[in-house]
Amino acid sequence: MESVQALLAMYDGEQFQKLREKTETRFVIDWKLASFALTDAIMCYRQLGYGLDLNRKEGVGMTIFLILLSVRDAQETILNRDFVMTLIKDAQDFLEAFDRVITIKSPDGAMLVPVVLRKGKIDSEAVDKYCVLFYRFASTMAKIDGNVSGTESEWLSTLVKITPSDGSQNDVALSEHTAEVAEENSRKGTPASEKQERVRVVEQNPEPGTAEKELAGLIGLQTVKTEVSKLSNYVKMQQLRKQKGMMSVPVTYHCVFTGNPGTGKTTVARILAGIYRDMGVLRKGHLVETDRSGLVAEYVGQTAVKTNKLIDSALDGVLFIDEAYTLVQGGSGDSYGPEAVATLLKRMEDDRNRLVVILAGYSGPMKQFIDSNPGLRSRFNRFIHFDDYSSEELMAIFRLNASKYDYLLDHKAEERLRELFAEAVAVKDEHFGNARFVRNIFEKVMENQASRLASSTDITEDKLRTILSEDICLGLQAK
């Protein structure tokens, strides 16, 4: 940080002195560093064509960004609607003042922070990570109203081009942009050959009883385990009543899984499919995993055909649809998602004895999705929420991965990992990767250990197995 701030000092001048008077009492981080980041953000705001219209969702998004950057206890501030409405007006005044005060432009239209940091020969990995995070910020701004315009799509493409780097993080931005273009193409009906479809079939372990044992062996997820156990017991009792000639209550097997990424929703869906098979609810109990891309087709009228074909592959098993709410987030011009939903609902009725559907995604959007359609609301009334993992559970997941691949943590390495996971949990947001975060950390630690040992001339089995504290990087951003 000291080297960065020393580098920023070269930009001292009357303009930044004026800005400092406006910001030094408000910004939590160093005022100059915040100014550069804010310059990039406002440039992005302008390039996306939003102007100063803070009555639009994009403008509210910009206001929230300003709050996060400049106000202490930002999370509590955002939850205070009256205060936010006041800050929207303050933000408009601030942007107008910014335009009058700041005239610095980065060369070649590139973002200012990467230009400055590269000029100072700051670690290229840190620069790359900033570029990826900034791309995600721009992408979020572009998609905040549920529609990506031509201007917005062009700017996102430009962002990838104007942040050249030798690091792999820029490839992440490129791959994310490619995925977003594919998602937008699916809304517009781009031919399937130009999209990457997500469809995966997972078969069950043929040994009966393994599913319940696997569920019990999962780390954390106590609420989920309790809910699945209650569902399982309820099904068994209704089956027993039927066997004894008693009246039985119809059981709804379909579920909605809500929660953040990496909390085990797909894993539990596969396990639940196995439990259904063991109870005789499903004959095969395999899992077909997909998302919007596996359901919508390239032209109007063909989505029903494609959806029916996918459902056929899931018969006698479970169809798992991740981020299901994207089927109705395309706006009034999207006829593909609603066609897939209508087809799905009809097949759920026609094949009610052979098909179980599990929908998954973030809690808020999933509730809105279910409430948007009476057919969905009547068929999906069982919600199971997946809580984020605690720092101790993240540590247990890391240990499990290490044990699986015959690695051991020394005492100091374990202490550093505990610090890393505690910090990650303390600052997490809704996009926190949970188990995926642990997996990324694990892979990076393995790379660090390999680099450390590569220069050694005496590599023993014990050295190959042991993870040391220097292999743990507390600054990892592996969401």
**pTM of the entire predicted model:** 0.56
CA angle 301, 306, 309 (to 5 degrees): 135
Q: Which of 349, 370, 386 is the last residue of a domain?
A: 386
Q: Is there a single domain that holds both residue 230 and residue 287? A: yes
Cα–Cα dist 109/90, whole Å = 28
Q: Is there a single domain that holds both residue 215 and residue 110? A: no
Q: Which helix (H) or strand (E) holds 8?
A: helix 2-8
Q: Quick one: pLDDT band at residue 122, thresholds 50, 70, 90?
A: low
Q: Is there a single domain that holds both residue 160 and residue 214? A: no
| Domain-embedded: residue 478 | no
Cα–Cα dist 118/4, whole Å = 10
Q: Is there a single domain that holds both residue 214 and residue 329? A: yes
Lowest mean pLDDT among 103-107, 222-226, 366-370: 103-107
Q: Is there a single domain that holds both residue 378 and residue 401? A: no
What digits encode the pLDDT tens for the residues 170-184? 444 444 444 444 444
Q: State the pLDDT at residue 268.
A: 93
User: Looking at residues 236-252, what average pLDDT do you find?
Assistant: 88
**369-374 contacts at long range (C-beta below 8 A, 24 or more positions apart):** 369/324, 369/325, 369/327, 369/328, 370/256, 372/328, 373/328, 373/341, 373/345
Q: What percentage of residues in the chain have a pLDDT greater than 70?
A: 60
What is the number of structural domains in the chain? 3
Q: Is there a single domain that holds both residue 9 and residue 106? A: yes
Q: Is there a single domain that holds both residue 181 and residue 231? A: no
Lowest mean pLDDT among 132-136, 199-203, 443-447: 132-136
Q: Is there a single domain that holds both residue 171 and residue 222? A: no
Measured over the CA atoms of residue 334, residue 178, residue 138 and residue 136, the dihedral's sign is positive
Q: Which of 386, 402, 435 is the last residue of a domain?
A: 386
Q: Is there a single domain that holds both residue 72 and residue 170? A: yes
User: Looking at residues 455-465, what average pLDDT do you find?
Assistant: 84
Q: State the pLDDT at residue 55.
A: 60
| Domain-embedded: residue 216 | yes
CA angle 391, 392, 398 (to 5 degrees): 90
Nearest CA among 5, 72, 67, 80 for reference residue 38: 67
Task: Look at 405 and 321; give whichever has higher pLDDT.
Answer: 321
Q: Is there a single domain that holds both residue 136 and residue 72? A: yes
| Domain-embedded: residue 41 | yes
Q: Which of 168, 188, 208 is the last residue of a domain?
A: 188
User: Looking at residues 395-410, what average pLDDT do you find?
Assistant: 90
Lowest mean pLDDT among 24-38, 274-288, 441-455: 24-38
Residue 410 sits in a domain of what CATH number?
1.10.8.60
Q: Which domain holds residue 345?
A: 199-386
Residue 356 sits in a domain of what CATH number?
3.40.50.300
Q: Quick one: pLDDT band at residue 94, thresholds 50, 70, 90?
A: low
User: Looking at this protein, which amino acid is placed at residue 151?
Assistant: T
Q: Is there a single domain that holds both residue 242 and residue 378? A: yes
Spell 408-436 as b/e; 16+ CB within 10 A means b.
ebeeebbebbbebbeebbeebeeebbbbe
Task: Decide if pLDDT at 5 tops 90.
Answer: no
Cα–Cα dist 142/50, whole Å = 10
**148-154 contacts at long range (C-beta below 8 A, 24 or more positions apart):** 148/180, 148/184, 149/49, 151/48, 151/49, 152/48, 152/49, 153/181, 153/184
| Domain-embedded: residue 233 | yes
Instruction: List the structure tokens of 234.
Output: 């309820």
- The average confidence (pLDDT) of the chain is 75
- Number of Cα atoms under 13 Å in the Cβ half of residue 297: 16
Q: Is there a single domain that holds both residue 416 and residue 364? A: no
User: Looking at residues 129-157, what average pLDDT do you find?
Assistant: 69
| Domain-embedded: residue 27 | yes
3-state SS, residue 64: helix
Cα–Cα dist 31/29, whole Å = 6
169 φ/ψ angles, rounded to the nearest 5 degrees = -65, -30
Cα–Cα dist 474/441, whole Å = 10
Nearest CA among 265, 256, 266 for reference residue 202: 266
What digits encode the pLDDT tens for the residues 271-298? 999 999 999 999 999 999 998 888 888 7
| Domain-embedded: residue 21 | yes
| Domain-embedded: residue 479 | no
Q: Quick one: pLDDT band at residue 17, thresholds 50, 70, 90?
A: low
| Domain-embedded: residue 476 | no
Cβ contact 115:106 at 8 Å: yes
Gyration radius (Cα) of the chain, Å: 26
